[in-house]
Amino acid sequence: MTEPAVLLEGIRVAFPDGPDERVVLDDLKLSVDPGELVVISGQSGAGKSTLLAVTGLLRRADAGEVTIAGTATSAMSSRQRTAVRRDHIAFVYQSANLLPSLTAVEQLELVGHIRGERSADVRRRARGLLDELGLADRASQLPSQLSGGERQRVGIARAFMAEPSVLIADEPTASLDPQRADSVAELLAGASGRGIATIVVAHDTAALSRADRHLRMEDGRLIDVGG
Amino acid sequence: MFLALRDLRRGARRFALLGVVIALVALLSTVLSALATGLVTDGISGLRALPFDHLALQDGSQSTFSRSTLRPDTLEKFEGLDGVKATPLGASFVNAASTDGGPNLDLALFGVSPDSFLVERPEAHAALEGTPGLVLAHELEEQGVKVGDTYTLGGSDVELPVLGFTFAGTYGHAPIAFTSLETWQKVQFGDGADGRFAAVALTGGTDQQLEKAATATHTDVLTKKEAYAGSPGYTAETTTMSLIRGFLLVISALVIGAFFTVLTVQRTRQIGLLKAMGATNGYILRDGIGQMAILVVLATAGGVALGCALVFFMGRGDAPVELSIPAVTTVVVSLVVAGVLGSLVAFKRITGVEPAIALGVEP
């Protein structure tokens, strides 16, 4: 049996709400296998982004265990969690979140630089990925010179550059027109072919139609609504 | 510094303002430093050039020649010490009125024995041993004073010719005029000098020997550097200049700290993004501090270069400015250190940024 790339068990997150607390994630469970694409939908404020943050080790849960690529992380120090994030997790954001002073190829090279890889290898791999995603001729452009769709594709290429076990995407198609949204969703679906466990928060059919599993967030838990 | 270098290159306009401020501080520091060095030189260069190690002055004179009067018996005690050379020194400020209608001069008049170790050059020795007269600092020659001009020294009727010029330097911002000790005594005390002089210049000997002799003769034995404090205005000038330079460094550190803090606040989401990508606090701090260090070094180099050019032009006028490599190096090193220290102000803010901010989630 394949070991899940992501395993969440008994996750609880609550925020203070005046004298009380508002429970956002309540005894939540989730298991995602390598190469599986899971799409999560839910109402605004349901806790989808919080779930992504906990899964991506960007914040700690109040209770429960997050296991990434077979490594339990709840007892880890911040430094150790940073190392797990660097080696196993990549993100794609709604607004691409590219660094304004870096060209497209440098956005990817930065990933390798943070990981302490040799710059010649990093540059070759970065160019290869941009080429693969149809951005070869945009490699030297700054984010301000790219269209919304191109920025998002560079964001995805950056995520692939990390060769992650887990790819987390937060509404990556929300700000794109249907045609570009479809192209981006296709690229994310391509992550499965790379053996990456992909968790996408999305509402549009472009993403939902490609999901291996569709989960809905309700009352702090995930409900399986089919594939 | 992958990100820092590209950020500096492509966001040059954002850093230009801070760069200009640092360059101006560096320029000002260089000019002040040159002024401080120049003032020190103007105050004590003559004393610094004399080949002695220690000076003995009358007890309680507080390094000031005009408050010190010593007699031959004191000199004899120092001369009697093994391995010590001692010679009397007269020093006072006088006004020299030209008898030929030329400009009057303010002089620091130093009286020395022609055959003492203080008179190193043979021509100076010959000049002082012959007819009484003045051997003047060479700067005065550039001002039009000539050999053979005669001056009446204020406070006395002693009239002396100019015998020659030498690298005598200045003391208390007045050019030094050497004369024989005997002539100095005549100018200072008239016919009742009774062998008096202002100080004993010493070379050689141990600290213990000199301390013992100082106690026995009721004198203060000062090192050469300690003797500088007796130059009029020396302590006030050096303290003021040090204070101004200190303030400039503090201001520089605060400006850089404030700028870096604002920059860090602006970059909060970017820092969160880097952390989400797996960058450690160390990586982000190295990048940020490295960026500030490059900016500070470049701006400081530019400012110092401009400052040196300005000092060069100021030096052609009357301003007492002097560039010295150690002083300029101190300016550069101090500004760079102050800048990097200032950038550390944002240290806590950077380490406090949560990676969850990259997703727009409340940490």
Please report, in angstroms and rounded to a whole number, the separation of the first and last CA atoms in chain B.
27
CATH number at residue A166: 3.40.50.300
Q: Across chain A, what does the average pLDDT equal?
A: 89
Q: At what angle do helices B207-217 and B72-79 cross, to 10 degrees?
A: 150
The per-residue DSSP string of B101-159 comes to S---EEEEEEEE-TTSTT--SHHHHHHHHSSS-EEEETHHHHTT--TT-EEEETTS--E
- Cα separation of B227 and B68, whole Å? 12
What lies within 8 Å, CB to CB, of A5 at 6+ separation is: A32, A33, A34, A36, A68, A69, A165, A166, A196, A197
Find the mean pLDDT for residues B130-148. 88
Find the mean pLDDT for residues B197-212. 92
**Residue keyed to tokens 């030096």:** B315
Find the mean pLDDT for residues B302-314. 92
Within a domain: A110: no
- The reply to whether residue A99 touches residue B273, judged by beta carbons under 8 angstroms, is yes
Residue type for position B23: A
Residue B363 has pLDDT above 70, yes or no: no
Nearest Cβ partner of A114 from B269, B279, B361? B279
Q: With bands split at pLDDT 50, 70 and 90, how would you rate the model's confidence at A58?
A: very high
Tell me the per-residue pLDDT of B34-53, one tens digit each, with 9 for 90 and over.
Answer: 888 888 888 888 888 899 99
Q: Tell the burial category of A1 from Cβ atoms under 10 Å away from its Cβ (0-12, 13-18, 19+).
A: exposed
Residue B130 has pLDDT above 90, yes or no: no
What 8-state DSSP symbol labels residue B70? B
Find the mean pLDDT for residues B229-257. 83
pLDDT of residue A227: 59
- Cα separation of B330 and B324, whole Å? 10
From chain A, pick out residues whose CB is under 8 angstroms from the CB of B9: 101
- Cα separation of A163 and A196, whole Å? 8
Residue A100 has pLDDT above 70, yes or no: yes
pTM to 2 decimal places? 0.74
Nearest Cβ partner of A59 from B6, B269, B354? B354
pLDDT of residue A184: 81
pLDDT of residue A90: 94
Q: At what angle do helices B2-10 and B281-315 cross, to 10 degrees?
A: 50
pLDDT of residue B272: 92
Tally: H helices and E strands in chain B: 13, 10
Tell me the per-residue pLDDT of A164-223, one tens digit each, with 9 for 90 and over.
Answer: 999 999 988 877 778 888 888 888 888 887 889 999 998 877 777 788 899 999 888 888
Number of Cβ pairs < 8 A linking chain A and chain B: 80
Nearest Cβ partner of A97 from B11, B358, B361? B358
Residue B355 has pLDDT above 80, yes or no: yes
**Residue keyed to tokens 């791999």:** A125
Grouping H, G, I as helix, E, B as strand and the rest as coil, residue B172 is coil
Tell me the per-residue pLDDT of A123-143, one tens digit each, with 9 for 90 and over.
Answer: 999 999 999 888 889 999 999
Nearest Cβ partner of A58 from B11, B269, B358? B358
What whole-number percentage of chain A has pLDDT above 70? 99
From chain B, pick out residues whose CB is under 8 angstroms from the CB of A159: none
Within a domain: A164: yes
Q: What is the ipTM of this complex?
A: 0.91
Per the CB < 8 A criterion, the answer to whether B198 and B189 are in contact is: no
Measure A1 CA to nearest chain B CA, in Å: 30
Per the CB < 8 A criterion, the answer to whether A74 and A60 are in contact is: yes
The per-residue DSSP string of B198-246 comes to SEEEEES--HHHHHHHHHHHTEEEEEHHHHHTTSTTHHHHHHHHHHHHH
Q: Which residue has the higher pLDDT, B298 or B102?
A: B298
Q: With bands split at pLDDT 50, 70 and 90, how would you rate the model's confidence at B252?
A: confident
Q: Across chain B, what does the average pLDDT equal?
A: 88
What lies within 8 Å, CB to CB, of A222 at 6+ separation is: A28, A29, A30, A40, A51, A215, A216
Within a domain: A217: yes
What whole-number percentage of chain A has pLDDT above 90? 56
Residue B309 has pLDDT above 90, yes or no: yes
Within a domain: A109: no
How many structural domains are present in chain A? 1
Q: With bands split at pLDDT 50, 70 and 90, how would you rate the model's confidence at B362?
A: low
Q: Which residue has the higher pLDDT, B284 or A46?
A: B284
Nearest Cβ partner of A58 from B6, B274, B356? B356
Tokens representing residue A30 in the block: 């989730």
Within a domain: A215: yes
Which residue in chain A is spatially nearest to B287 when comparing CA positions?
Answer: A114
Residue B317 has pLDDT above 80, yes or no: no
- Cα separation of A151 and A112, whole Å? 19
Residue B33 has pLDDT above 70, yes or no: yes
Tell me the per-residue pLDDT of B179-200, one tens digit each, with 9 for 90 and over.
Answer: 999 999 999 888 888 889 999 9
Within a domain: A112: no
- The reply to whether residue B279 touches residue A82, judged by beta carbons under 8 angstroms, is yes
Helices (H), A94-161: 104-114, 119-132, 148-161
In whole angstroms, how far apart are CA A22 and each of A11, A17, A29, A49, A124? 14, 6, 19, 15, 48
H, E, C per residue of B81-103: CCCCEEEEEEEEEEEEEECCCCC
Q: Tell the burial category of B216 from Cβ atoms under 10 Å away from its Cβ (0-12, 13-18, 19+).
A: exposed
Tokens representing residue A24 in the block: 């956002």
- The reply to whether residue B273 touches residue A97, judged by beta carbons under 8 angstroms, is yes
Half-sphere exposure of A16 (CA within 13 A, CB side): 3
- Cα separation of A85 and B280, whole Å? 11
pLDDT of residue A176: 75
Find the mean pLDDT for residues A3-14. 93
Which residue in chain B is spatially nearest to A47 when comparing CA positions?
Answer: B361
Tell me the per-residue pLDDT of B48-107, one tens digit each, with 9 for 90 and over.
Answer: 889 999 999 999 888 899 899 999 999 999 999 999 999 999 999 999 998 887 788 999
Does the beta carbon of B276 lie under 8 angstroms from any beta carbon of chain A?
Answer: yes
Contact map slice: B 322-361 vs A, CB within 8 A:
354-356, 358-361
Grouping H, G, I as helix, E, B as strand and the rest as coil, residue A80 is helix
Residue B155 has pLDDT above 80, yes or no: no
Helices (H), A143-218: 148-161, 178-193, 205-208
pLDDT of residue A1: 60
Residue type for position B289: I
Within a domain: A141: no
Domain that includes residue A72, residue range = 6-103+148-224
What whole-number percentage of chain B has pLDDT above 70? 99
